Amino acid sequence: MQIVQLVVSGIAQGCIYGLIALGFVLIYKATETVSFVQGDLMMLGAFGGLAALTLMGVPFWAAVPAAIAGMALFGLLLERIVIRPILGQPAFSIVMLTIGIGYVARGLITMIPGIGTDTHSLPVPYKDGIINAGTLVLNVEQLVVIGATATLCLVLFAVFKYSKIGIAMQASSQNQLAAYYMGIPVKTLNGLVWALAAAVAAIAGLLLAPITFVHSNMGFVGLKAFPAAVVGGFGSLPGAIVGGLVIGVVESLAGFYLPDGFKDTAPYIVVLLMLMIKPNGLFGEKLRKKV
Amino acid sequence: MRFLFKTDYAQDIALAKHGGHVFWYGLLLAFLFGAPWIVPDYWLAQLTFTLIYGIVGVGLMLLAGFTGLFSIGHAAFLGVGAYTEAYLVNHGVPFPLALVTSAALSAAVGVIVGLPALRVKGIYLGIATIAMAFIVEEVLARWEHVTGGNAGLAVKKPAIGDWAIDTPTSFYFLCLVVTIITTLAILNLLRSPTGRAFVAIRDSEVSAQSMGIHLARYKTLSFAISAALAGLGGALYAHKLTFISPDQFNILESINLLLIVVIGGLGSVHGAFLGAIFFISMPQLIALGKDWLPAAIGQAPGLQGVVYGAVLIAFVLFEPLGLYGRWLKVRTYLQLFPFYRQGLFKRQKSFQKSDRLR
């Protein structure tokens, strides 16, 4: 039963990676750029939830949507103010730009006196709950993560499949210029995609917070979401979640069965192997440039 | 202003284009060689660090600025160089041999990373280098009987034959000589067919390939040279610090190296050194600025990160050519004074380029 236990906790951790990777993929598909700020957006979301819950004393079920909506607004502003002016520049400049935003976000949080440098625990109602299922001992926190991720995936799937905005997003991610000619407001959609990515990151932060802690460097978890995005195929939304699950489970198993040190490097070994064997990932689209 | 009439190819690729170059670079060299007698000890140490970061910066510039492959894990090569040097010198290998070996070993690691780089590009390459950096950092932390693990490793002073390099001044001269040699080597490389092939690959892989450039070979070569320079810089860095531990070569250090290259100005050797000067003097500038700010902001721990990030954002948004680009603009403005035209350096936008199509 040990292995099932490990797999469950791996899946829970993998959901977090998957959610962050989902943010990468959303932005990559829509704007051809890679956002290194995703992990820090997650951190900001967790701090937003913390501020709402502890400082303002908002009840839990109101604080969570408030933090998510706040982060969505933040993502929208970020795109409008910082990202939009350099659209069309080489991808490298946007990577550096998002690294810079990450620095500023981390620094600003650290600068808040008394709060920024400490680690906090997010007071959630389901904290420390345990369910005994047969010989299995399941953490409620992990089950919440898995359930919330599954729900979010269903919602996103429905949005992209049935709503007008979702279909327009798909169109503009296929070919921005053609979408623009068809009357799709590509710039507005890019802003919405950033808002969506920031909201997903905030959800990831709020889900991760009870498992670990809230502190200003928790965004570095985002670096493990890159392997997740690559394993799933960088341009694929279901791939991001599947990749996250693969990375989470591999990490969890490696931490138990392999010697010390493999737990943290396993995701990166997996991603290097993946890049050598199948650079397009499990669900990656394969496009070729024609001359 | 000065008019240059180029009449043959040798004139076009000359290292010093005209007498002005000879004069100003001569003055710079004279200052650098006289620095120990001019500047105080503290500034000499800063200058040494600037030279070391300059070497690493030139290496990364070759990769990112000239070949167009960006590595987000370059500190790993720095680490490999530093640890190889420390291990060899501590075990009695002569210093020059150890220096060459650490550069060579870094280059070998660079080739191993460069191999997946042949199949992937853009962000995938960035992720591959991040992965490599994490693995190297973990190896440095775990391979305890060689690297000392997280406890760190003390490094002996270097010595060439009987000449012990144990004073800050002599070590500064060592760094200066290594910097001059590597910079000249890279400048010469850049005006050779190999260097031009690198630039061709950066500008367009498809057209470079159609002109008969072996993409795989040149990309690997670029990785190897860049990693070798990083290893060289790392070896000197280890001696300067006299104590190394794995967390000095983590992902943040890699990002610092990228910061040097981007703020200095992508695609220019000057940029690597300007970036290094900027990076080394930044903490001092922040410390100076702290006194002006209200205490609540000035003494806060996150200030440095905010300033770094803000500077980086400002450069990418307003000056993508970096410090060197700003200098070029000022110089052009002065040269053309009454006739300077708005939009002379306007950036071109491209909307159709897609990483997914390749």
Q: In Å, how far is A47's CA from the nearest CA of chain B?
A: 16
Residues in chain A: 291
As a whole-number percent, the residues of chain A with pLDDT over 70 amount to 97
pLDDT, tens digit, for every residue of A13-66?
A: 899 899 899 888 888 887 777 888 998 999 999 988 888 888 887 888 888 899
Q: What is the ipTM of this complex?
A: 0.86
Q: How does the average pLDDT of chain A come out, rounded?
A: 85
Tell me the C-alpha distance between A104 and A109, whole Å: 8
Give the pLDDT confidence of B318-347 residue by residue, as tens digits: 888 888 888 888 888 888 888 777 777 776
pLDDT digits (tens, 9 = 90+) for B179-225: 999 999 999 999 899 999 999 998 888 889 899 998 888 998 999 99
pLDDT at A289 over 70: no
Contact status, residue A243 vs residue A18, Cβ threshold 8 Å: yes
Do residues A24 and A274 lie in contact, with contact meaning Cβ atoms separated by under 8 Å? no
Instruction: Work out the average pLDDT over B100-120.
Output: 84
From B138, which residue of chain A is nearest by alpha-carbon distance? A261
β partners of residue B154: B243
Predicted TM-score (pTM) of the model is: 0.88
Tokens, residue B176: 């200066």
Using the beta-carbon criterion (under 8 Å), do A97 and B300 form an inter-chain contact?
Answer: no
Counting one residue from chain A and one from chain B, the pairs whose CB atoms sit within 8 A come to: 157
Q: Which residues does residue B163 pair with via DSSP β-bridges, in sequence order?
A: B160
- Checking if the pLDDT of B258 tops 80, the result is yes
B58/A17 Cα distance (integer angstroms): 35
Buried b (16+ CB within 10 A) or exposed e, B145-184: eebbeeebbebeebeeeeeebeebebbbbbbbebbeebbe
Tell me the pLDDT band of B357, cut-offs 50, 70 and 90: very low
Contact state of A276 with B351 under an 8 Å Cβ cutoff = no
| DSSP letters spanning B217-247 | HHHHHHHHHHHHHHHHHHHHHHHHHSEE-GG
DSSP characters over B278-326: HHHHHHHHHHHHHTTS-HHHHT-TTHHHHHHHHHHHHHHHH-TTHHHHH
Q: What is the pLDDT of residue B180?
A: 94
β-strands B159-160, B153-154: how paired?
unpaired
User: How far apart, in whole angstroms, are the C-alpha atoms of residue A247 and residue A15?
Assistant: 10
Interface test with B, best of A99, A172, A215, A283 (most B CBs within 10 A): A99
Facing residue for A279 by CB, picked from B120, B312, B357:
B120
Distance from CA of B18 to the nearest CA of A (A): 34
Which of these, A176, A180, A222, lies nearest to A43 by C-alpha position? A222
Q: Alpha-carbon distance A168 to B183, whole Å?
A: 51
| Residue numbers in A near B316 (CB within 8 A) | 86, 93-94, 96-97, 100
Q: A97-120, pLDDT tens digit by residue?
A: 998 999 999 888 888 877 777 788
- Cβ separation B138–A265 shorter than 8 A: yes
Start-to-end Cα distance in chain A: 56
Interface of B with A in 330-349 (CB under 8 A): 347, 349
d(C-alpha A49, C-alpha A148), whole Å: 16
Residue of B66, B74, B113, B127 to mutate, interface with A, max A Cβ within 10 Å: B127
B76-105 per-position pLDDT tens digit: 999 999 999 999 988 888 888 999 999 999
To the nearest whole Å, the CA of B50 is away from the closest chain A CA by 22
CA distance B122 to chain A (A): 8
Q: Which comes out higher in pLDDT, residue B351 or B121?
A: B121
As a whole number of angstroms, the distance between CA A270 and CA A242 comes to 14
Taking an 8 Å cut-off on Cβ atoms, the answer to whether B349 and A89 are in contact is: yes
Assess whether pLDDT exceeds 60 at residue A159: yes
pLDDT at B352 over 50: no
pLDDT beyond 90 at B55: yes
Interface of B with A in 45-74 (CB under 8 A): 64, 70
Greater pLDDT, A202 or A259: A202
State yes or no: pLDDT of A250 exceeds 50.
yes
Distance in Å from the first CA to the final CA of chain B = 45
| Least reliable range by pLDDT among A77-86, A259-268, B58-67, B88-97 | A259-268
Compute the residue count for chain B: 358
Contacts of A37 in chain B (CB under 8 A): none
| B355 has pLDDT over 60 | no
Dihedral, CA atoms, B244, B248, B254, B257, nearest 10 degrees? Answer: -70
- Predicted confidence at residue B349, as pLDDT, reads 62
pLDDT at A216 over 70: yes
Interface contact flag, A28 B123, Cβ < 8 Å: yes
Torsion sign (Cα): B196, B197, B202, B204: positive
A82-91, A145-154, B61-70, B328-337: which range is least confident on average? A82-91
Instruction: Decide: helix, strand or coil at residue B160.
Output: strand
Q: How far is CA B99 from CA A52, B240, B245, B274, in A?
A: 56, 14, 19, 25
pLDDT cut 70: percent of chain B above it: 94
Q: Which of A226, A229, A194, A30 is nearest to B354 (CA)?
A: A30
